[in-house]
A and B are shown apart, each in its own frame.
Chain A
């Protein structure tokens, strides 16, 4: 599904963030990408979303070279990826309902379908009583659950979570990771970038460990070992 092929990223003048990264993500996998801060996790995630281009090498999404895509072609790929970010990246001027509905509006669904689907997803993440609240009226945990709802509403092929628990307490972190596990159980691919040792060890899934921009370990049932 996603393939990194000898990817190197150097920020001018000479800061190397990723070096010769190669790995593949298969449909339905749950992968944790771990490493210290500055190891290159976020750059790697941003490359999948087409927000960064490799200095050399290629990143493929279902066979398409992401860095060669532009305009609507790139946006079509982004629609197939549900993103969850540490800073939530919510639309602050829209309500909880509207934030989730926006994804379906981008897809061109009609109001009847939107009004039927959005409440179901918000119920699944425990926000059905906050439909008309604005993101700033929610707690950190609620905002991240809203981000999860937004990421899954259009049934994307893959969910990418970049430090989704970075700003959350252990209880809310557990809730968000549980949601990701549930999503994976129904067959969706999940890529989780984190430096939370406890979460990774508890998951018992594939772990790719990054250190100074290089992959130092890639284990199918890995642990957080740095």
Chain B
């Protein structure tokens, strides 16, 4: 216990006495943590983008006015049986369609007047289908709806242009993900090498001292612990600095991102993942700091 207390005391004293070196180690560790955090946030934004597009309605099948609810639901069952991975199929009755329309345009007199002029409920019952962007599913559903089986009850089928959009976005995101991941890994590797070399430089200057400590009888643990703790302190401070910078960046960027991606709040995404982000930042900062220290000190302990 007394030794652990001393190891902490040595680490803090060294940290304070070598302020310049400490600051440079914290700086490179902060950059590494920021890089990893940036990758995490970018992943969040792109996931949201894909999710939003996937959840848009792909196909709307409008049924003839006289079609019974039971018949429509049997079409729904047929689709589910043939394309079980369909994300959602919602039945919208004539009445639901009308009330939804009225709700959406309650402030517009033009639409209300138009409805009166048409007379009655002009809407048709429908099935809103979300395939989730799977091309095979999409084609299967299209085949069922356009087939002869339901020719008599289906008035028309609306295919959104989403298929092409999804294909394009998928190919873009796939490329971006692969390139991003590779680039990310390269940057993280470079960052870790810089951190490792910075800590190596710091500990190399203490090489003679480590030798002296060994000659006067200090145990490996007694010599190593302060360096490892110091590496941990570098990492912890770097994590806190990184967190602070991330909060500032998130607050500054959230409005800008909301304009590009309506409905996505970077602030909410950040705070709902705060624990995970903190964990990543501490793991990167403290982990890299501590592991680098252990590796470098071990090299000098063979006296």
Interface on A for B, CB 8 Å cutoff?
49, 51, 71-72, 75-81, 83, 89-93, 102-103, 105-106, 108, 110, 150
Chain B residue at smallest Cβ distance from A79: B217
B:1-58 near A, CB below 8 Å:
2-3, 6, 14, 17-18
Known A49-B215, A75-B214, A89-B211; further 6 A-B contacts with Cβ < 8 A: A80-B217, A89-B215, A91-B213, A93-B14, A93-B17, A105-B222
Give the residue name and chain of the B residue nearest to A111 (CB): B2
**C-alpha spacing A39/B84, complex, angstroms:** 89
Closest A residue, CB atoms, query B221 = A72
Q: How far is the CA of A105 from the CA of B208 in the complex (A)?
A: 19
Query: What are the 4 tightest A-B residue pairs by CB atom distance, in nearest-first order?
Result: A79-B217, A78-B217, A106-B218, A89-B212
Query: What's the Cα separation between A104 and B202 when bound, in Å?
Result: 26
**Which of A49, A75, A108 has the largest count of B CB atoms less than 10 A from its CB?**
A75
Number of A-B contacts (CB under 8 A): 53
- Contact, CB under 8 Å: B217 / A75: yes
B217 CB contacts on chain A under 8 angstroms? 75-81, 103, 106
A140, B112: Cα distance in complex, Å: 100
B215 to chain A, nearest CB (A): 6
> What A residues does B206 contact at CB under 8 A?
93
CB pair A108–B3 under 8 Å, yes or no, is yes
Listed residue (A51, A71, A93) with the most chain B CB atoms within 10 angstroms of its CB: A93
* A residues less than 8 Å from B209 (CB atoms): 91-93
User: Known contacts A51-B303, A93-B18, A105-B6; is A78 also within 8 Å of B213 by CB?
Assistant: no
Residues of A contacting B211 with CB < 8 Å?
Answer: 89
Complex CA distance for A150 and B215, rounded to whole angstroms = 12
* Nearest CB on B from A48, distance (A): 11
Complex contact A78–B216 (CB within 8 A) = yes
User: 24 A-B contacts, Cβ less than 8 Å apart?
Assistant: A51-B303, A72-B219, A75-B214, A75-B219, A78-B215, A79-B216, A89-B208, A89-B211, A89-B215, A90-B212, A91-B212, A92-B209, A93-B14, A93-B209, A102-B218, A105-B6, A105-B222, A106-B213, A106-B216, A106-B219, A106-B222, A108-B3, A110-B2, A150-B216
Q: How far is the CA of A90 from the CA of B211 in the complex (A)?
A: 10
Inter-chain contacts of A78 with B (CB < 8 A): 214-217
A139 to B219, CA, bound (A): 30
Tell me if B273 counts as interface (CB < 8 A to partner A). no
Q: A78-B215, A91-B212, A93-B17 are in contact. Are A71 and B2 (CB under 8 A)?
A: no
Q: Smallest CB–CB gap between A137 and chain B, Å?
A: 14
Contacts of A72 in B (CB 8 A): 219
Q: Cβ of A105: which chain B residues have Cβ within 8 Å of it? A: 6, 222
Could you say which residues of chain A place their CB within 8 Å of the CB of B303?
51
| Nearest A-chain residue to B6, judged by Cβ | A105
Q: Least Cβ distance of A78 to chain B in Å? A: 4
B98 to chain A, nearest CB (A): 82
Distance between B12 CB and nearest chain A CB, rounded to angstroms? 13
- Cβ of B220: which chain A residues have Cβ within 8 Å of it? 71
**Considering the chains assembled together, what is the distance between the CA atoms of A135 and B217 in angstroms?**
20
Shortest Cβ distance from residue B2 to the other chain A in the assembled complex, whole angstroms: 6
CB distance from A51 to the nearest CB of B (A): 7
Residues of A contacting B3 in the complex (Cβ-Cβ under 8 angstroms): 108
Residue of A80, A83, A90, A105 with most partner-chain B CB within 10 A: A105
Q: Identify A75's interface contact among B14, B208, B212, B218, CB under 8 A.
A: B218
A125 to B216, CA, bound (A): 19
User: What are the residues of chain B within 8 A of A89 when measuring CB–CB?
Assistant: 208, 211-212, 215
Nearest CB of A to B6, in Å: 6
By a CB distance below 8 angstroms, the chain B residues around A106 are 213, 216-219, 222
CB distance from A136 to the nearest CB of B (A): 12
Contacts of B208 in A (CB 8 A): 89, 92
